[in-house]
Structures are given as C-alpha cells and as structure tokens.
A and B are shown apart, each in its own frame.
Chain A
C-alpha cells in the first residue's frame, strides 16, 4: 500500500511512472482528448457539407465559436421532450429490472453454496451472447406471426379490440431494454444479498416478525446499496441506447441516443450532435451524483 512507503525512493518513483504512464497516456489521448474536442465542437458552427466549419469561416464572431447550438437546443421543446422521454424509459426499465431481479438474486443468495456459482453462470450466459442477437430474438418473438402476438390479439379480439402490433412499438423497446440490462441488476443485488447474515432473520423471527415483515424490515433495507449500484448500472446505458429503438421501435420512438446518432451520421450536424452529447453527459453525471448521495444517506440509516 502506498501509505507504507511515505517517501518513495527514486527507483520506486520511476517504477510508478513506468507502470502508470502507458495506460495514462493512452487514455489521455483516446479518452480525455476526444472528450475535450467534443466540448469544443459543440461551440463551433456546422460546416456547409457536414462536419465543422473552419474556425475563420464566421467573421464577426468570437474566433468562430458560438453558443448557438445550446440556444437552439433550448429553443425547441422537442429536444427537451426527447430527453424527458429517455429519462422515463430508463426509469421504467430500472424499476422493471429491479422487480424481476430481486426474487432471482434472493433465491441464488439463499441457495446452497455449491449451486450458487452455477445459478450465477446461468444469469451471465445469455448476457454473454451478442447484444444485437438478443434484440433480434425479440424481433422473432414479437413478430406478427409469433405465438405471443397471436395470443394477445385473440384475447383482444374477444373483448372486441382491434389487433395490435407488438413489434415496432414502445412495448417492444421496453421489453428488450429490460432483457438486455437484467443481469446488470441481478449481479450486484446478488453480491449484496449473499453477504447478509442469516442470524438477523432468525433474530427477527424470534421477535415475532412474520415473513413479510422480515423481508420489508430486514432484508430490503440491507439490500439498498445493492439496489443503488444495480440501478446505476441499468439506468445509465439505457439513457444513451440507440440500437434498441432503432431496431424494435416505431418511427416515432426516438430517444436521445437516436437523436445523437442522427446528428453525427445522418444530417451530419456535428456541433449540434456534440451539444446533445454534452447535455447527455451532464444528465448522466447528475444521476450518478444523485445515486451516490442517496446511497450514502440510506446506508447510514440501514
């Protein structure tokens, strides 16, 4: 540990830079620098044929820099609306994942030790297959000729409602979002639940708590740190997702990710695309900060 070596000798300091230097430089060049470039790009004018306009191309402005894209973002409510919609989709996905992951994580945590690893592996395996394949699988399952669609539509037909399309709908997007992100909720939750001391539940039982009280007053509060880390792991990737709405959503199911993708590869308005990316980054940072704050407060009570 570093505090064991209060004064690093010269070769030790050399070792430190030899070890940390290469990954640091790599990430400085291919992670930090692109981030800074994106902030700068959001302040530029779009080029005539896409990309960025040359810095000298806009006389009368501050070195060709402008806050125009930010003004544009807030001038039309449609962009804020897409952000709010993405936020709600991420929230719904997180909650559904939590409800589905909890019994699974609880069962694994309370299973005999030797079967736990296998049960965890069973959660990881589908997660290890390609993400597009998992989305595509839902294309088949929700297709108009699939058993699920036929069942839903025959039931709707009984009560006199017209046929619905499950594919290319907000429903399909939500199902796939949950499907793809479920392991991110299950694994941290399981890791947390596994550490609980069963003695606490025995104590609660001796004090006369019934099953529901034992869960709600003991297990659940203790699992809050697991819930928070799982929620962050689900919420953030969903917020930036574009592939699922792209493949399974209808034409109107646009989320922030689709909007950003469109600016970079479709209309090629890079300054506006950068602005959207930066707003998304800020939203993500705010959510992480909020989750960390909530998490630490809860932990103090638990």
Chain B
C-alpha cells in the first residue's frame, strides 16, 4: 500500500500527532488555568469559578464586549452585502481592478491597512477615532473574505441552470432572485459568519483605528497581558474560544467547502 501502512505510516502519524499536540496544548493550558484557584499561572491549586465571577463584574470588560459585538454585527452585515456584490462582479465580469482592490486588503500585512486608515481618518476625513472608524475599517478588510467565499460558491454552480432560466423567459433579476441567490445563500451566510468572527477577533487594525475613547475585547485582552496578567484573561479567553468555536462549527455545517479553502 502506498498510503502509509506499516512503519513509514507510523512515523507520519507520530509527526502529525506531535503537531496536533503543539496546536492544542497551549489552548488547553489556558482553559485549565481559567478554573485554577490561584493568582499565578504556574501550578494547579484547585478548582474555582472565581475568575468567571470576576469577569462578570468587570464593567470595562463588559463594555468592551458590548462594543465588540456591536461592531461585529454592523460591520459583518455591511461587508456581507458589499462582499456578495463584489464576489458576483468578480465572477461574472472578471474586472481586474475590482479584483485587485478586493484581494489586496486580505493579502497585505494588516499593519499597513491599519496605519493608512489612521492617517486617512485623521488627516483627510478629520474624524474623531472611535466606533465609526473601527466599523469602517472592519468593513474594508471583511469585504474580501466574503467575496472569496461567494465567488467560490458561484464557481460551483452549473451554468446551464442560468441558461434554462433565461430560455424560460426569466429576467436577470428574477434569475438572481429565484435561482442564483438561493443557491449561493449558504456561501453568503458562511462568508458573513467569517466576517463576524474576523471583526470580533481583530486586534491590529482596531488598535490603530480605535482612538482613546472606545475599547474592544481584543484591545482589553492586549492591555491586560501587556500590563497586569490575572487569570481573568484565561476566563475571557475561554469564553471567546467557545464563541468562535460555535461559529466555526456552524459555518462548516452550512458550507463545508468554504472552510476547506477549495475553489
């Protein structure tokens, strides 16, 4: 057998298992320590819900979580609408400039988008940094992710269906409304969920476009691990992991191909 039976297969399994352990060990440690009855992340003392209780009474953290959710909802909704349009345009009209503008923010280092938007908001728009600037920035980087997913779903469709619709006298809008859209809807939803988690998790671009007044969950986590590490970070991390895990599993159920990065 070529597919790795025998001793060689064992080596492959061992190497892969080691990598899986490398991927999961750090996160397991965070989860375990979120229940540790100690102020230090050093040794296991005993089980406690204390850090979750601290978290639930941390006003700043709750406000940051509220901001994060609001920003994620507004920006992922807008990015889903714009990204779906972009994905359709990229697939149907093969516009090179649009494709470049959609893909570039996804491909370039995040810091470049962050600082250029900071400059633009302050120097050109004369905008006070805060909620609005964060939402605008998040839409910019999310459009591309939604567009890629939508284009992938379109590429998987059978062209003859559109021809059949046209031949039976459907207008382009009717074809879209009754045929194309229902078929790509799973992709659109998966893209939207992706934009939602990206917004919820974004640190770099938010860091540059937030200003001083508004904080988000990742910004709070950053200042906690930079300044004073308490096991409260473990608790908020565990909850955030649980949330993204749910969304990812949901997205993978809705559109399995999307998460496998298949085209």
A residues engaging B (CB < 8 A)?
1-2, 11-12, 15-16, 19-20, 22-24, 26-28, 30-35, 37-38, 41, 51-52, 100-101, 103-104, 106-108, 110, 117, 120-126, 128-141, 143, 145-146, 179, 182, 187-188, 191, 198, 201-202, 205, 211, 214, 236-237, 239-243, 246-247, 257, 260-261, 264-265, 270, 273-274, 277, 280-281, 284, 288
Q: What A residues does B110 contact at CB under 8 A?
A: 237, 240
Q: A27-B143, A140-B29 are in contact. Are A130 and B82 (CB under 8 A)?
A: no
Task: Give a binary string over B144-170; 1 marks a CB under 8 Å from any A CB, 0 the rest.
Answer: 000100000000000100000000000
Q: A134-B26, A273-B115 are in contact. Are A241 and B248 (CB under 8 A)?
A: no
5 A-B pairs with least C-beta separation: A240-B109, A137-B26, A20-B89, A103-B15, A34-B120
Binding site secondary structure of chain B: helix
Q: A27-B140, A104-B15, A198-B3 are in contact. Are A133 and B240 (CB under 8 A)?
A: yes
Measured CA separation A247–B42 after assembly (Å): 19
Q: What A residues does B260 contact at CB under 8 A?
A: 117, 120, 187, 191
> Chain B contact residues (Cβ within 8 angstroms of A): what range?
35 or more
Q: A38-B115, A191-B260 are in contact. Are A128 and B98 (CB under 8 A)?
A: no
Q: A16-B89, A130-B241, A145-B40 are in contact. Are A137 and B30 (CB under 8 A)?
A: yes
Binding site secondary structure of chain A: helix
Q: What B residues does A274 contact at CB under 8 A?
A: 115, 119
Q: What A residues does B261 contact at CB under 8 A?
A: 187-188, 191
Whether B92 lies near A100 (C-beta < 8 A) is: no
Q: What B residues does A280 contact at CB under 8 A?
A: 109, 111-112
Whether B241 lies near A241 (C-beta < 8 A) is: no
Stretch at the interface among B16-24, B48-56, B57-65, B183-191: B16-24
Q: What A residues does B147 contact at CB under 8 A?
A: 23
Q: What B residues does A277 contact at CB under 8 A?
A: 111-112, 115-116
Measured CA separation A19–B90 after assembly (Å): 10
Residue B225 interfacial (CB < 8 Å): yes
Q: Of B113, B159, B197, B217, which contacts A1 at CB under 8 A? A: B159
Residue B74 interfacial (CB < 8 Å): no
Whether B85 lies near A133 (C-beta < 8 A) is: no
Measured CA separation A101–B22 after assembly (Å): 11
Shortest CB distance B95–A (Å)? 6
Shortest CB distance B36–A (Å)? 11
Measured CA separation A27–B137 after assembly (Å): 10
Q: A30-B137, A33-B124 are in contact. Are A141 and B25 (CB under 8 A)?
A: yes
Q: Which residue of B lies closest to A191 (CB)?
A: B261
Whether B109 lies near A104 (C-beta < 8 A) is: no
Q: What B residues does A137 contact at CB under 8 A?
A: 26-27, 29-30
Residue B222 interfacial (CB < 8 Å): yes
Q: Of A122, A257, A281, which contacts B20 at CB under 8 A? A: A122
Residue B255 interfacial (CB < 8 Å): no
Whether B19 lies near A15 (C-beta < 8 A) is: no
Whether B116 lies near A35 (C-beta < 8 A) is: yes
B residues engaging A (CB < 8 A)?
2-4, 8, 12-13, 15-16, 19-20, 22-27, 29-30, 33, 40-43, 81-83, 85-86, 88-89, 92-95, 97-98, 101-102, 104-105, 107-113, 115-120, 122-124, 136-137, 139-140, 143, 147, 159, 172, 197, 201, 203-204, 208, 217-218, 221-222, 225-226, 229, 233, 237, 240-241, 244-245, 247-249, 252, 256, 259-262
Q: What B residues does A129 contact at CB under 8 A?
A: 27, 237, 240-241, 244-245
Measured CA separation A161–B118 after assembly (Å): 48
| 22 cross-chain CB contacts under 8 A | A19-B89, A20-B85, A24-B86, A30-B136, A30-B139, A31-B105, A34-B119, A37-B119, A107-B12, A121-B249, A133-B237, A136-B225, A136-B233, A137-B30, A145-B43, A179-B22, A182-B19, A205-B2, A236-B107, A242-B111, A243-B222, A281-B112
Measured CA separation A203–B85 after assembly (Å): 47
Q: A20-B86, A23-B86, A23-B98 are in contact. Are A130 and B226 (CB under 8 A)?
A: no
Whether A257 lies near B101 (C-beta < 8 A) is: no
Q: A202-B2, A240-B111 are in contact. Are A140 and B237 (CB under 8 A)?
A: no
Measured CA separation A198–B3 after assembly (Å): 8
Q: What A residues does B218 contact at CB under 8 A?
A: 130-132
Measured CA separation A101–B147 after assembly (Å): 27
Q: A242-B111, A260-B111, A264-B118 are in contact. Are A26 and B95 (CB under 8 A)?
A: no
Measured CA separation A26–B146 after assembly (Å): 14
Measured CA separation A273–B118 after assembly (Å): 12
Measured CA separation A123–B115 after assembly (Å): 31
Shortest CB distance A90–B (Å)? 10
Q: What B residues does A130 contact at CB under 8 A?
A: 201, 203, 217-218, 221, 237, 240-241, 244
Q: What B residues does A257 contact at CB under 8 A?
A: 109, 111
Q: What A residues does B16 contact at CB under 8 A?
A: 103-104, 106-108
